[in-house]
Amino acid sequence: MAINIKSAIISNKGIVRAYNEDNFVFDRRILTDINEEISIAKTAKCDKCIIAVFDGMGGESSGEIASKIAATTFQKIKNTTLEGVKNAIFSANMEICQYMKINKIKRMGTTVAAVYIDKTSISVVNVGDSKIYKYEKGTLEQVSYDHITTRHNNRRELTQHLGIFPNEMQIEPYIFTDKIKDRIRYLICSDGLTDMVSEEDIAVSMSNSIEEIPIILKDKAIENGGRDNITIVVFEIKKEAKKIFEKMFN
């Protein structure tokens, strides 16, 4: 039996950055233009699906390219399995490295925060510090892992991201798998949200309707400074259908 997913996404450049260097895979769509802003709400039925957020790094000249390469790779996944997601991460990393080599770019990259959902389980897969949260019974819990370290000047630096040459380091995605529970909500986001809005405020906002949550959180991030691009996906899984939904994530 298929599962039902009610979901919504917003991707916004914020008020400081000139372009949107984030990207995503949602309903097989990706961000195709750095000036594009997306707001979508969907209710759908699926057997297997993948949702992901990417936060590009390397400045406005290349961060958006890295995130788009990764998003395009995920968009083209044919093997819709957890193994397929892992393979897409390694493939995207190699493509980004190849792009850097050909175009003589010293450094660029992207994070990835993805979920793979099938009929019985949900798997969290991430590289970098874009976060995935589970919201259950009023409690917000981070279920992704932050690949970061803090230097002597208190500046956070990523220890893992896409765009690392194999001779420098082996990419090691964090993976967490949980059983599907009815009406549990999940949030995937770039740090344009989490750097601007506290987890306490995020938790309070998660009690609103799925359609409203990304709008509320985006507005809070902008109100608090909007220093970075903001991409937010919220979804809720329902085990049993009570009506016929449009088909998505095919």
pLDDT tens string, the chain, 250 residues long: the values are 678 999 999 999 999 999 999 999 999 899 998 888 899 999 998 889 999 999 999 765 689 999 999 999 999 999 999 999 999 999 999 999 999 999 999 889 999 999 999 989 999 999 999 999 999 999 999 999 999 987 656 678 899 999 999 999 999 999 999 999 988 999 999 999 999 999 999 999 999 999 999 999 999 999 999 999 999 999 999 876 444 444 555 5
**pLDDT at residue 152, rounded to an integer:** 56
**pLDDT at residue 46, rounded to an integer:** 86
CA 198, 201, 206, 212 dihedral sign is negative
Question: CB-based contacts of 148: which residues, under 8 Å, 6+ apart?
Answer: 129, 156, 157, 158, 159
Class of domain 3-247: alpha beta
Single out the residue of 113, 124, 110 nearest to residue 55, CA to CA: 110
**pLDDT at residue 178, rounded to an integer:** 95
**pLDDT at residue 245, rounded to an integer:** 44
**pLDDT at residue 131, rounded to an integer:** 98
Single out the residue of 188, 189, 197, 200 nearest to residue 227, CA to CA: 197
**pLDDT at residue 85, rounded to an integer:** 98
Residues 196-233 as b or e (16 or more Cβ within 10 Å = b): bbeeeebbebbeeebbebbbbbbbbbbeeebbbbbbbb
Q: What is the dihedral of CA 23, 236, 176, 68, to 10 degrees?
A: -10
Please, are residues 135 and 206 in contact by the beta-carbon 8 Å criterion? yes
Strand, helix or coil for residue 101: helix
**pLDDT at residue 4, rounded to an integer:** 92
Please, are residues 22 and 190 in contact by the beta-carbon 8 Å criterion? yes
Please, are residues 238 and 4 in contact by the beta-carbon 8 Å criterion? yes
Please, are residues 44 and 247 in contact by the beta-carbon 8 Å criterion? yes
Cβ neighbours around 61 below 10 Å, total: 10
Angstrom distance (rounded) from CA 242 to CA 28: 25
Could you tell me how far CA 242 lies from the centroid of its own chain?
A: 29
Angstrom distance (rounded) from CA 246 to CA 82: 24
Cα dist from 24 to 29, 233, 240, 242, whole Å = 8, 9, 27, 29
Angstrom distance (rounded) from CA 63 to CA 13: 13
